[in-house]
């Protein structure tokens, strides 16, 4: 745990940034990048600003810049306006807030209970909308980044993602909505296991007054279409984080698009990294399903439902 709000020991900083304690000390002593406080017992105490400086230099170094040049590019007096070189749009290029840093620390240690407690504290302190935009999404982006870079192992990634998913499920179960509100239905494609992005989308819809229905991970072939016919949603959001659904079912996308054409009163959206990767190589052109990698585009096109 931190010594107090926004103050961390070096092991916690190592957990949050993915940098070893040796590297942190070297950047401090050789380049004067950060200036931690020193307790009477000699322990270093780092601030949230220190951690973001370390993350920014780490990002630049991973882009190929020498450490000294990376540090020179970081304006320590204007850390919040810092913008690194273009690369993947991960949160590491942004300023991580204290809750995200705490979650990274707990996630690195696979501490499920502390992860859940921190999520609860963040949710109750900032409210649902800010919680999703500024804490959940940045945290999950950073988790994914560290897993792809092999800074975190599969267990760290899995525990962190599952705890977030379980917490979002709890919120959705307890959220109040009008029974006659329009319905948005969300579903992973067959063979797809990553449902957390859909929980985030559905919670955003609930904030706008919509009812929601989620078809969980790895739905049976044909179940999506059957439930759409039964539930009669106004909006359908489909997701594929991998290309496995399209590789396993080559006719899946044409069949879904044909289904969408037969239901013109429903807005169909399809997103996820797997979808974008597949369509970038495919010659198939969707006629009735909108492809997007931006959940805010979906929300902007969906009206707010009056509580009256």
- Whichever domain contains 62, its CATH number is 1.10.1660.10
Indicate if 83 and 114 belong to the same structural domain. no
Listed range (84-98, 140-154, 259-273) with the worst mean pLDDT: 84-98
Rg (CA), the chain: 22
Indicate if 170 and 182 belong to the same structural domain. no
Query: Structural domain tally of the chain?
Result: 3
Which residue has 């745990």 as its token pair? 1
- Inside any domain, residue 27: yes
For every residue of 227-270, DSSP letters joined together read HHHHH--SEEEEE-SSSHHHHH-TTHHHHHHHHHHT-TTSEEEE
Is pLDDT of 91 > 60?
Answer: no
Band of the pLDDT at 85, cuts 50, 70, 90?
A: very low
What is the span of the domain harbouring residue 129? Answer: 89-174
pLDDT on residue 82: 42
Cβ atoms of 238 and 187 closer than 8 Å: yes
Name which of 95, 99, 97, 102 is nearest 76 in CA terms. Answer: 95
* Final residue of a structural domain among 38, 65, 87: 87
- Inside any domain, residue 100: yes
Indicate if 97 and 205 belong to the same structural domain. no
- Inside any domain, residue 307: no
- Inside any domain, residue 308: no
Query: What CATH number is associated with residue 123?
Result: 1.10.1240.10
Indicate if 291 and 237 belong to the same structural domain. yes
Q: Give the Cα separation of 96 and 105 in Å (integer).
A: 12
Q: Give the Cα separation of 39 and 120 in Å (integer).
A: 31
pLDDT on residue 106: 93
Q: What is the mean pLDDT of the chain?
A: 86
pLDDT in tens, 232-272: 999 999 999 999 999 999 999 999 999 999 999 999 999 99
pLDDT on residue 181: 94
- To the nearest whole percent, how much of the chain has pLDDT over 70? 91
Instruction: For residue 71, count other CB atoms closer than 10 A to its CB.
Output: 20
Query: What CATH number is associated with residue 216?
Result: 3.40.50.280
Average pLDDT over residues 76-96: 43
pLDDT on residue 59: 83
- Inside any domain, residue 305: no
Q: Tell whether the torsion through CA atoms of 192, 283, 270 and 273 is positive or negative.
A: positive
- Inside any domain, residue 306: no
pLDDT on residue 3: 55
Partner residues linked to 290 by β-bridges: 269
Name which of 151, 145, 16 is nearest 87 in CA terms. Answer: 145
What number of CA atoms fall less than 13 Å from residue 226's CA on the CB side? Answer: 6
Indicate if 164 and 243 belong to the same structural domain. no
Beta strands at 44-47 and 267-271: parallel, antiparallel or unpaired: unpaired
Instruction: For residue 165, count other CB atoms closer than 10 A to its CB.
Output: 18
Is pLDDT of 197 > 60?
Answer: yes
pLDDT on residue 5: 63
* Final residue of a structural domain among 115, 139, 174: 174
Name which of 228, 281, 227, 219 is nearest 250 in CA terms. Answer: 281
Is pLDDT of 47 > 50?
Answer: yes
pLDDT on residue 149: 80
Is pLDDT of 93 > 70?
Answer: no
């Amino acid at each position: 745990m931190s010594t107090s709000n926004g103050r961390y020991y070096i092991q916690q900083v190592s957990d949050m940034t993915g940098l070893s304690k040796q590297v942190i000390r070297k950047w401090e002593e050789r380049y004067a990048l950060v200036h931690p406080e020193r307790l009477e017992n000699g322990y270093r105490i780092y601030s949230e600003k220190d951690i973001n400086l370390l993350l920014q230099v780490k990002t630049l170094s991973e882009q190929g810049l020498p450490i000294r040049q990376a540090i020179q590019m970081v304006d320590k007096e204007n850390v919040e306006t810092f913008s690194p070189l273009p690369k993947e749009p991960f949160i590491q290029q942004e300023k991580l807030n204290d809750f995200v840093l705490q979650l990274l620390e707990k996630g690195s240690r696979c501490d499920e209970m502390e992860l859940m407690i921190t999520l609860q504290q963040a949710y109750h302190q900032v409210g649902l909308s800010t919680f999703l935009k500024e804490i959940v999404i940045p945290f999950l982006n950073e988790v994914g980044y560290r897993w792809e870079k092999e800074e975190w192992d599969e267990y760290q990634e899995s525990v962190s993602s599952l705890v977030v998913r379980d917490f979002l499920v709890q919120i959705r179960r307890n959220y109040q909505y009008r029974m006659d509100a329009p319905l948005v239905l969300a579903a992973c494609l067959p063979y797809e296991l990553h449902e957390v992005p859909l929980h985030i989308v559905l919670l955003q819809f609930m904030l706008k007054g919509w009812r929601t229905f989620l078809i969980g991970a790895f739905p049976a072939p044909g179940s999506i279409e059957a439930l759409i016919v039964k539930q009669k949603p106004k909006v359908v959001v489909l997701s594929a984080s991998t290309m496995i659904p399209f590789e396993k079912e080559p006719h899946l996308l044409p069949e879904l698009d044909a289904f969408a054409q037969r239901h013109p009163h429903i807005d169909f959206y399809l997103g996820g990294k797997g979808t974008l990767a597949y369509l970038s190589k495919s010659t198939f052109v969707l006629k009735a399903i909108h492809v997007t990698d931006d959940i805010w585009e979906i929300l902007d096109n969906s009206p707010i439902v009056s509580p009256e």
